[in-house]
Amino acid sequence: MSEQELIPIYVAGVRQMVPPLFTIQRAMEYAGYVLIHNCGCRGGVCGACATEYRLPGDPLIKRGLACQTMVEPGMQLVQIPYYPARRAVFDLEKTEPTAEGLVDLYPELAKCLGCNTCTKVCPQELDVMGYIAAALRGDLKEVRRLSFECILCGTCATHCPQEIPQYQIAMAARRLEGRYLMPPAPMMDKRVEEINNGFYGAELANLKTLSKEELEERWKANQGELKRW
C-alpha cells in the first residue's frame, strides 16, 4: 500500500500512518507495536483490548474493543490497562443469594447514583445500570440475563463516579444464582459419576495419541453430528 493510501491516527499522542480498513489492533501492529498487553482473543470476547478514542471535531470520547473497532482518519486513541477494581473474596456456601448478600460483599453497590454512565461507556452496549438495579432488588436472574454477554473489560468501573465494580458484582450474582437458585442439570450427577469411575479414560487416552490433523477431522465430524440434532 502506498503512503498516499494510508491514514493518520494517534496512538497515545504519537502519529502513525496506517491502512484505512484495519481494526485498531491490526493498525497498531502495522505501525510496529508488539501487543503483549491489551491483546487476547482477537475475537471480541475476552475484554483485554478495551480502548478509548476521540475523532476529529467530536468532543466526546468513545469506547470500543481494539480488535473490533475500525480506525478512522485523525483518530486519537489510548488503550486501557488492567483496572484494579475491588474484587470481593467470599465463601459461596456462606453467602445469601439476596440483595443484602450482594451489598455485604460490595457495599459500594448501595451508592449507585443511577447516572447511567456505566451503560453509556460499555463497549458491548449492555444495560449495565439495569443489572446493577436488578442486583439492588435481589433479582439475580435478571442480573444474569442483562450481564450474560459481559466480557469483564472493566470499562464500566473505570468511569463510575461511585467506583462500583459493576462487572465483579455481576459475576458474584451469577455465581450465587447458579449455586442456589438454578435447578441442577438433569445429567450432571450422572456425568460426574462416570468421570470419577473412569468411564471416559480410554477415549481421553486415545485422543492424546492423535495428531493435530486427526483431531481436526474428529472435531469436524462431531460438528456435523451436532447439526443433525
What's residue 227's pLDDT? 54
Residue 121 and residue 144: Cα distance in Å, rounded?
Answer: 19
What percent of the chain has a predicted confidence (pLDDT) above 70? 96
Please provide the DSSP assignment of 96-147 as one string. -SSHHHHHHH-GGGGG-----HHHHH-TT---HHHHHHHHHHT-HHHHHHHH
102-122 confidence digits (pLDDT tens): 999 999 999 999 999 999 999
**Residue 1 confidence class, pLDDT cut points 50, 70, 90:** low
What's residue 34's pLDDT? 93
What percent of the chain has a predicted confidence (pLDDT) above 90? 83
Is the confidence at residue 228, as pLDDT, over 80?
A: no
What's residue 229's pLDDT? 44
This prediction has a pTM of 0.77
Q: Is residue 17 a contact partner of residue 6, using CB atoms and an 8 Å limit?
A: yes
Q: Is residue 78 a contact partner of residue 52, using CB atoms and an 8 Å limit?
A: yes
Is the confidence at residue 37, as pLDDT, over 80?
A: yes
Mean pLDDT of 142-171: 96
Contacts of 68 (CB under 8 A, 6+ apart): 23, 44, 123
CA separation (Å) from 209 to 203, 204, 214, 222?
10, 9, 10, 18
Domains of the chain by start residue, with CATH: 3-79 (3.10.20.30), 83-213 (1.10.1060)
Mean pLDDT of 207-218: 92
Average pLDDT of the chain, as a whole number: 93
Q: Is residue 51 a contact partner of residue 68, using CB atoms and an 8 Å limit?
A: no
Mean pLDDT of 8-34: 96
Mean pLDDT of 212-222: 89
